[in-house]
Chain A
Amino acid sequence: MKQKFVKKSILPGFSLSLGFTVFYLSLFVLIPLSMIFLRTSSLSFKEFLDVIMAERTLAAYRLSFGTAFASACINAVFGLIVAWVLVRYSFPGKRIVDAMVDFPLALPTAVAGIALTELYVPNGLLGKFLQAWGIKGAFTPFGITIALTFIGLPFVVRTLQPVLEDVDPQIEEAAASLGANRWQTVTMVIFPVIIPALLTGVTLAFARAIGEYGSVIFIAGNMPMKTEIAPLLIMTKLEQYDYTGATAIAVGMLLISFILLGAANFFQWLTSRNLGRT
């Protein structure tokens, strides 16, 4: 039997709402975004590789992915602790802490960028401490990692929180009644359920960190080959009117982002399976 495009419904407005959605999305998102691929297709593969494999580009990619990965790992640990504490324990000021988790998303990135820089410059509040230990804060990959950790935190905490809340209390009680101690219950019963959610959150934080610009450029120092992140390199190429170079670098970043997005969706699917939802 021929399948119809839409299941007939008595609710009104399907063609209007879908039509508008597709129109708006095409106009403001899909057509502009397709420019990237249109532009790239005018390049030969060798030209593309020349841009992508240039030493400066590779250094920028390495720096972007490296610091993004490091910050994702930091958030995996501390994000888990923050989410756990917020869901499981009660302490004074918990509601404020809970609301503040979204602060990095609400604060314009440029503001975050200059504030973090001011904190981590050698004579800044935290920079002074680091200086005493012989660590340079701002204008190093370490500084970039700090900015990306700030940006990524809400992704990890907000993906974990609902899942932690949904873990059936009875499975913990069952584990305890079967003789497991608390550590065994947590590691053998709870963690397996929440780990896909943790991976989802970490992947989202990682993807966001790779493309992040505003909060990083102030603290990064922006030295080519050393502290120049990939989005900044795109910016530099644009300022030199090298549109093709900028586009090629963008394509590389986009592909990675889409792969990460696919991974995040897969982990999300695992989570809902683990929680017994369909």
Chain B
Amino acid sequence: MQVRTEPRIVRYVLITIALVFFGLFLVLPLVCVFQNALSKGWVVYFDALRHPDALAAMKMTMITALIVVPCNLIFGVAAAWAVSKFDFKGKNLLLSFIDLPLSVSPVIAGLIFILLFGAQGVLGPWLIAHNIRIVFAWPGIILATIFVTVPMVARELIPIMKSQGTEEEEAALTLGASGWKTFWMVSIPNIRWGILYGVILCNARAMGEFGAVSVVSGHIRGLTNTMPLHVEILYNEYQSAAAFAVASILAMLAIVTLIAKSIVEANIRQGQK
């Protein structure tokens, strides 16, 4: 052990630097959110949360997550199954396509749906003729959110499934199980923690997405506002305490996400024994 570590003074200096950096960049912003949220007292805080626009934004955010997360979950399981249990041509290309949304700026993610469904867009005239609204309405918010969060579940499942190989499925088949039973009784239980992990991350991003949603939402209060957009509007109207009150809910969501994430991580690590 002596060989593999630095002198005590070096250790302390490095730990101190890390903790100071950590405090400045991660802890202070978090504290700042709650401090500002309560700066005008609990009454203002709860009034901000109870405001009809705030409630509508929360509802919109929930609905978005409720649609987006299951869609991406099914996609994630299907993609991970195809990629990790079979050998086929073009697999690497498919993998980079799955990761593609992660390298696209959120603003561009919103822009592409405007180009597709907006008034000047490819399908715009047809949609207008049939009186269907996609952008500047809730379907646009959902599409943009799906785009941004497509890889979140698949990315977590693929390495887990790959490392598990196919032997357990083969064993189930030789024991007489059908393909469907093998999938539900062996494959899915084996990745249950991975699924939960992916869902947690996907949900956090779906609820918190700002840039992409901002482009396609149209910012119609009480209709197409999600919580992050509501925060922006309040902040830009100098209702700082109210903005931070809504933000504090999102910050708590982030903290819950982190706690759930570390619990699930511990379980995944144990499952790999």
A–B in direct contact per CB < 8 Å: yes
Give residues in A with beta carbon < 8 Å to B: 3, 5-7, 9-14, 16-18, 20-22, 24-25, 28-33, 35-36, 38-39, 78, 81-82, 84-86, 88-89, 91, 95, 97-112, 114-116, 118-119, 125-126, 146, 149-150, 153, 169, 172-173, 176-177, 182, 186, 207, 210-214, 218, 231-232, 234-235, 238, 241, 243, 246-247, 250, 253-254, 257-258, 260-261
Q: Is the CB of A7 within 8 A of B173?
A: no
Q: Give CA–CA (A212, B106) in the complex, Å.
A: 7
Q: Is the CB of B210 within 8 A of A109?
A: yes
Number of interface residues of B (CB under 8 A): 101
* Chain A residues with CB under 8 A of B24: 126
B63 is an interface residue with CB less than 8 A from chain A = no
- Residue from B74, B114, B250 in contact with A108 in the complex, judged by beta carbons closer than 8 Å: B250
- Given contacts A99-B258, A104-B26, A78 and B88 within 8 Å (CB-CB): no
* Chain B residues with CB under 8 A of A169: 4
B126 is an interface residue with CB less than 8 A from chain A = no
Q: Is the CB of A100 within 8 A of B147?
A: no
* Chain B residues with CB under 8 A of A10: 170, 173
Q: How many A-B residue pairs have CB under 8 A?
A: 294
Q: Is the CB of A13 within 8 A of B183?
A: yes
Q: Give CA–CA (A104, B100) in the complex, Å.
A: 21
User: Residue of B at shortest CB range from A98?
Assistant: B262
* Chain B residues with CB under 8 A of A3: 89
Q: List 12 A-B contacts (CB under 8 A).
A: A21-B78, A25-B79, A28-B147, A97-B18, A102-B261, A107-B208, A108-B210, A110-B247, A116-B29, A176-B3, A214-B228, A247-B111
- Given contacts A20-B78, A238-B215, A125 and B28 within 8 Å (CB-CB): yes
Give residues in B with beta carbon < 8 Å to A: 3-7, 11, 14-15, 17-19, 21-22, 24-30, 32-33, 36, 71, 74-75, 78-79, 81-83, 85-89, 94, 96-101, 103-108, 111-116, 118, 120-122, 143, 146-147, 150, 166, 169-170, 173, 179-180, 182-183, 201, 204-205, 207-211, 214-215, 227-229, 231-232, 235, 240, 243-244, 247, 250-251, 253-255, 257-259, 261-262
